[in-house]
Structure 1
Amino acid sequence: MLEIKNLSKQYSGKIAVDSLSFSVSPGEVFGLLGRNGAGKTTTIKMMLGLVAPDGGTVKWNHKNGLGHVSYGYLPEERGLYPKTKVIDQLTYFAKLEGLGKKEIKKSIDYWIDRFDIGQYRNKLAGDLSKGNQQKVQLVATLLHNPELIILDEPFSGLDPVNTNLLTEVILEEKEKGKVIIMSSHQMDQVEKFCKQVVLMKEGKAIISGDLTTVKNSYGMMYLSLFGEVSRLVTFCSANGHSYEQDGKRVIVSLEQDQDPLAILTRLKQEGVDVNEVTYLQPTLHQIFVDKVGS
């Protein structure tokens, strides 16, 4: 189990991370969210011992620091040697993790095949596309079977096919009982994986906890109405309802104490036909934009 408690960091008097606390259990994917400059990468670097915190603790199974745990870190920035063959640098990274010769070959062969990049093993990393470089970095992150996996923008550069492939891999690692931290701007991907999230703004955690609880406590629900769009829009405008048009649907924003049945009754009274109604929770994307958008 990973435990972060009151982690803090300042740079030249400016707060980068302010008393951040969270914990992640085995078999969980934790979402570390926020805009650029929110403090996510600084948090990760303090966890890994790359940056010294001003205060707070990082513990693994109640022991200080991550010096006694095997971890894999995928940074947002490219971390490959562009003039070195893929196979050579993966072998080098595996040796740094203490793998033996047979383990190295077995692991690299497995992951290269899993990410479908076998045809690039003898290519220079710099000659690969952005997406294939990302897959090489993912292999380097996972080849030593780490207990803790930290993924900073893991879907960067990946097309839809490879996004699905990485999704499968993350779920497989989750099922193995790994502790996984994922930082991403792609909220739809975060919602697929993460049970717990923390949303950071200017170094502070402004939302933290179970994703379902976060959504339920947001204070806003949505009513999706499918019908005659022009009349639905006119109805919403006339009655002061906040709404968005999405193709042939109108999405009405509801305050927590608003009764959706009252709106449906009013629509019927005014003769506005509705063919389909869906009561929706807010998406993580909507919460993110509302809480950290300017």
Structure 2
Amino acid sequence: MTTLEVRNLRKNFGDVAALTDVSLTVKPGEIYGFVGSNGAGKSTTMRIILGVLAADAGEVLWDGKPITADNRRNIGYMPEERGLYAKEKILDQLVFLARLHGLGIQEATTNAQGLLEQLGLAERTTSQLTDLSLGNQQRVQLAASLVHNPDVLVLDEPFSGLDPIAVQVMSDMLISRAQQGTPVIFSSHQLDLVQRLCDRVGIISGGEMRAQGTVMELRTQGPARYEVGSPVPAQEWCPTGCRIVAEEPGQTIIEKPEHVSDQDILAAALAVGPVHSFTRRVPDLVDLFKEFVS
């Protein structure tokens, strides 16, 4: 099983620093979500992994050793700019792409037919790409990245423009590959999907990695916040050192420092009136993304 590692990548386009010391690791069986705004550096990082672009500094490692051309042949890549042949029959071009990766005709055909069946396209093998909806075109593009049984998957915005059914089909395929030990890295703007699918997440902004970790690690770092349901205004009971983040009638969000416990907040509120609800507010990935890229 393979581990893919990016270490201290730097890339400039003229005077623009596209990447500054970007590092990440995707382990066997792990799904890594790579998120950031347009122009943040996601596609540039992926193109350097693939060898389409050369880094100015840093390295890409394959099981701890510098990546080679042979390693890159074992990557399944789905580019943001879809690159299949519009007028060729779907099965024919999938077989052709598998043959380019060194598969024999029989294995290539079996793999292509099996993937199209899994993706709900078994009846469209002789269709041209332009005959398919956008969602089905995306499914074919995913099949193209999988048809040679890659050791690593690198997918740039694979869920872009998909309807919910197509999103679920593609999600299931990625989960299945990860469960077989394949490292999967994909970029996406659909942060709710990243939060649901990924074992680890990297947030990039301005060519720099702002945060990395498991979803729960990212969501629980920083000051803890609690939502307190009480009819008494927070100014009358908020413990010293805590900050009132938001308040509306009957509901207050409190941010606490490390030396104040959740029980201190609850006790302070109960000392002046009833408390109808008390819960930890864990930010979701959308909130974190806004915080890290702002």
Matched, 1:12 2:10: no
Instruction: Output aligned runs, 1:1-294, within 5 Å.
Output: 1-69=3-71, 70-216=74-220, 218-224=221-227, 235=233, 241-243=244-246, 252=253, 254-257=255-258, 259-269=261-271, 271=273, 274=276, 276-293=277-294
Alpha-carbon RMSD: 2.6
Q: Which runs of 5+ in 2 are unaligned?
A: none
Q: Distance in 2 between matches of 1:148 and 1:283?
A: 28
Work out whether residues 234 and 252 of structure 2, in 8 Å CA contact, stay in contact via their aligned partners in 1. no
Q: Distance in 2 between matches of 1:21 and 1:251?
A: 39
| SS of 1:95 mapped into structure 2 | helix
Q: Distance in 2 between matches of 1:99 and 1:172?
A: 22
Which one-letter code corresponds to 2:44 in the other structure?
T
Q: Distance in 1 between matches of 2:23 and 2:235?
A: 43
Aligned residues: 284
Q: Which runs of 5+ in 1 are unaligned?
A: none
Distance 1:123 1:224, change over 3 A: farther
| SS of 1:209 mapped into structure 2 | strand
Q: Distance in 2 between matches of 1:102 and 1:285?
A: 46
The TM-score normalised by the length of structure 2 is 0.86
Which one-letter code corresponds to 1:91 in the other structure?
V
Work out whether residues 153 and 185 of structure 1, in 8 Å CA contact, stay in contact via their aligned partners in 2. yes
Q: Displacement of 1:9 after TM fit?
A: 0.4
Q: Distance in 2 between matches of 1:111 and 1:166?
A: 11
Q: Distance in 2 between matches of 1:256 and 1:107?
A: 56
Q: Distance in 1 between matches of 2:189 and 2:254?
A: 24
Q: Distance in 2 between matches of 1:235 and 1:66?
A: 63
Q: Distance in 2 between matches of 1:9 and 1:282?
A: 32
Q: Distance in 2 between matches of 1:219 and 1:273?
A: 25
Q: Displacement of 1:193 after TM fit?
A: 3.1
Distance 1:250 1:184, change over 3 A: farther
**Stretch moving more, 174-183 or 155-164:** 155-164
1:37-92: CA deviation from partner (whole Å, max 9, x where unpaired): 11111011111110011111111123322422201011122222222222222122
Distance 1:255 1:164, change over 3 A: farther
Q: Distance in 2 between matches of 1:103 and 1:143?
A: 10
The TM-score normalised by the length of structure 1 is 0.86
Which one-letter code corresponds to 1:162 in the other structure?
A
